[in-house]
């Protein structure tokens, strides 16, 4: 009986909130409204939170159960494969199967936790209604539902990432388009955008390295993100990112500068499977030159694949030898991706001009000025929230690219 009365009370409260919705405006800075109490404003805000919680719970209940059934079936299949195989017959294949089983188990655990979070959010919301209005309970339920929704978004995106390297981590490299402080400041801004995005996603960050120009600013910067599906998520960011801004010297006109973004798969649990002839590699500086080298940028080493002109460098390791190995590994990863895009198995047959055209294509424009606009050329998506994008909110571009690629 008490529960029925509480439910009826909550319905009446919600109806009262809805009836006031048309006449409640923005709350002034002093906390007073035009004939509307602060408490009423808070109730209206909590009603909006409750609606978002309910929408999140419904989505999770509709999606998580079927996803859990599918992932449980995948886990069982992987276990059956391993039971019928001698792990020592083919260690590489066994490692792949064990990795797939571990992935399936991890996803199953996450989906079970997801359903638990949805039930928790629903229960907290119901308890808050019985307690009339409880701001803290609603906030807790909302935060729980947001966490669950974000995981579901990542899960659904990961199901679309089925390319050979999509599951790998990623190394993001940003290089200034030209010498000079403005161009280098733009490269630094882009690098901060990706670092901020990685932190917001809760990604596991690895090595961060920066190589300075003669001006003392960043010429090129790299960050390794060790979380799964990072290459698949970020591969669409590769290319030229062009900044367009009003000219100071010629009012009414615009100037432009660009920075290049490279996205390289980061192979954490296996070596890069690509053979390169030593005679095709130009490594600088040489060990003898390094001893006389200016160590302003640490032990930076650059490796170039001479037939294609593709280069890679590393400066974040402690020694010349370690940076040489890292640079060669990055070079191989770059060449793997390029050869896959060009659908060729022999990297020596790839022409330099083809590589230059592939790497110099424009990916995104950032237009500053009275009317700010970020235009993604790969997907056509345009956003006016310039500051938000540069602070790392690039998920709309990432989602649109993944969906369009598999649409």
Q: What are the chain's domains?
A: 2-160 (no CATH), 169-405 (3.30.70.1660)
Question: Two tokens at 195?
Answer: 């670092």
Can you give the pLDDT at residue 224?
93
Can you give the pLDDT at residue 363?
95
Q: How many Cβ atoms from other residues are within 10 Å of residue 363's Cβ?
A: 20
Q: What is the pTM of this model?
A: 0.73
Environment class of 326 (CB within 10 Å of its CB; exposed 0-12, middle 13-18, buried 19+): buried
**Beta carbons within 8 Å of 402's beta carbon, 6+ residues apart:** 157, 160, 161, 232, 233, 236
Q: Among 39, 48, 57, 37, which residue's Cα sits nearest to residue 14?
A: 48
Q: How many Cβ atoms from other residues are within 10 Å of residue 376's Cβ?
A: 21
pLDDT-derived band at 133, boundaries 50, 70, 90:
low
Most confident range (mean pLDDT) of 1-5, 137-141, 223-227 is: 223-227
Distance from first CA to last CA of the chain, Å, rounded?
52
Contact 397, 376 (CB under 8 A): yes
Question: 47 vs 118, which has greater pLDDT?
Answer: 118
Q: With left for phi above 0 and alpha for psi between -120 and 50, is residue 31 left, alpha or beta? A: left
Contact 366, 241 (CB under 8 A): yes
Q: Across all residues in the chain, what is the average pLDDT?
A: 79
Q: Is pLDDT above 70 for 24?
A: no
Q: Is pLDDT above 70 for 310?
A: yes
pLDDT-derived band at 95, boundaries 50, 70, 90:
low
Q: Is pLDDT above 80 for 3?
A: no
Q: Among 121, 365, 149, which residue's Cα sits nearest to residue 259?
A: 365
Instruction: Average the pLDDT over 142-159 and give the result.
Output: 80
pLDDT-derived band at 279, boundaries 50, 70, 90:
very high
Question: 269 vs 350, which has greater pLDDT?
Answer: 350
């Amino acid at each position: 009986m008490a529960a029925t009365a509480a439910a009826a009370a909550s319905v009446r409260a919600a109806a009262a909130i809805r009836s006031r919705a048309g006449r409640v405006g923005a709350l002034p800075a002093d906390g007073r409204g035009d004939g509307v109490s602060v408490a009423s404003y808070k109730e209206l805000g909590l009603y909006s939170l409750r609606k978002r919680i309910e929408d999140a719970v419904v989505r999770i209940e509709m999606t998580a159960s079927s996803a859990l059934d599918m992932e449980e079936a995948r886990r069982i299949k992987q276990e059956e494969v391993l039971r019928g195989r001698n792990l020592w017959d083919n260690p590489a294949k066994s490692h792949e199967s064990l990795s797939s089983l571990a992935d399936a188990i991890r996803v199953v655990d996450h989906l079970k936790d997801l359903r638990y979070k949805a039930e928790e959010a629903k229960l907290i919301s119901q308890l808050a209604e019985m307690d009339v209005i409880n701001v803290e309970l609603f906030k807790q339920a909302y935060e729980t539902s947001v966490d669950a929704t974000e995981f579901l978004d990542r899960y659904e995106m990961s199901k679309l990432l089925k390319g050979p390297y999509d599951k790998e981590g990623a190394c993001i490299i940003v290089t200034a388009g030209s010498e000079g402080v403005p161009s280098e400041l733009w490269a630094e801004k882009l690098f901060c955008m990706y670092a901020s995005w990685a932190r917001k996603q809760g990604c596991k960050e690895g090595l961060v390295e920066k190589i300075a120009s003669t001006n003392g600013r960043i010429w090129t910067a790299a960050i390794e993100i060790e979380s799964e599906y990072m290459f698949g998520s970020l591969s669409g960011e590769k290319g030229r990112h062009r900044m367009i801004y009003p000219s100071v010297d010629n009012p009414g006109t615009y100037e432009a500068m660009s920075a290049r973004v490279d996205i390289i798969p980061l192979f954490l649990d296996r070596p890069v499977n690509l053979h390169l002839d030593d005679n095709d590699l130009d490594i600088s500086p040489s060990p003898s030159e390094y001893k006389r080298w200016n160590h302003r940028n640490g032990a930076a080493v650059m490796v170039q694949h001479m037939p294609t002109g593709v280069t890679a460098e590393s400066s974040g390791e402690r020694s010349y030898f370690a940076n040489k190995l890292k640079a060669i590994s990055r070079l191989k990863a770059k060449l793997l991706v390029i050869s896959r895009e060009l659908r060729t198995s022999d990297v020596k047959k790839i022409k330099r001009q083809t590589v230059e055209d592939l790497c110099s294509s424009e990916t995104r424009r950032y237009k500053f000025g009275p009317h700010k606009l970020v235009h993604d050329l790969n997907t056509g998506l345009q956003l006016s929230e310039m500051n938000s994008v540069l602070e790392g909110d690039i998920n709309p571009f990432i989602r649109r690219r993944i969906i369009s690629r598999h649409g």
